[in-house]
Amino acid sequence: MTQDSPMMSNQDRLIYMANQIARNFGTMDPARAADAVADHIASFWDPRMRAQIFELQGKGDVRLGPVAAAAITILRQSGAPPHQTQATEFNSVSGVGHSDAG
């Protein structure tokens, strides 16, 4: 960032990231996209990050888009959904790649 641009707070960054993940699933049906976002957040976000986004939503923060908000609600109410994409299906220890990056 340049000296003139403002820094994002942790809360702003989490909202931005959740909405960005939701945009990546924008071609899916909204309900399936919400499950995919919830799966991604459950698989890759640190528990502290999840706790912060839960708190923001619980306080009525309206900056989450509809798909991201639905995903956070799924996680808060039901926990992690089954894996929705191959990106969150990990190989076994003897498998090739050992990550979603291949």
pLDDT at 25 over 70: yes
pLDDT at 6: 73
pLDDT at 101: 44
The neighbour count for residue 64, using CB atoms within 10 Å, is 20
Q: What's the pLDDT band for 48 if we cut at 50, 70, 90?
A: very high
pLDDT at 23 over 70: yes
pLDDT at 3: 56
Q: Is the pTM of this model over 0.85?
A: no
| Structure tokens, 6 | 């403002």
Name the CA radius of gyration of the chain, rounded.
Answer: 15
Number of domains in the chain: 1
Domain with 58, as residue range(s), is 10-82
- Any domain includes 56: yes
Q: What's the pLDDT band for 100 if we cut at 50, 70, 90?
A: very low
Residues 6 or more apart in contact with residue 68 via CB below 8 angstroms: 15, 18, 19, 21, 22, 37
- Any domain includes 96: no
Tell me what the mean pLDDT of segment 16-29 comes to: 94
- Any domain includes 39: yes
pLDDT at 42 over 60: yes
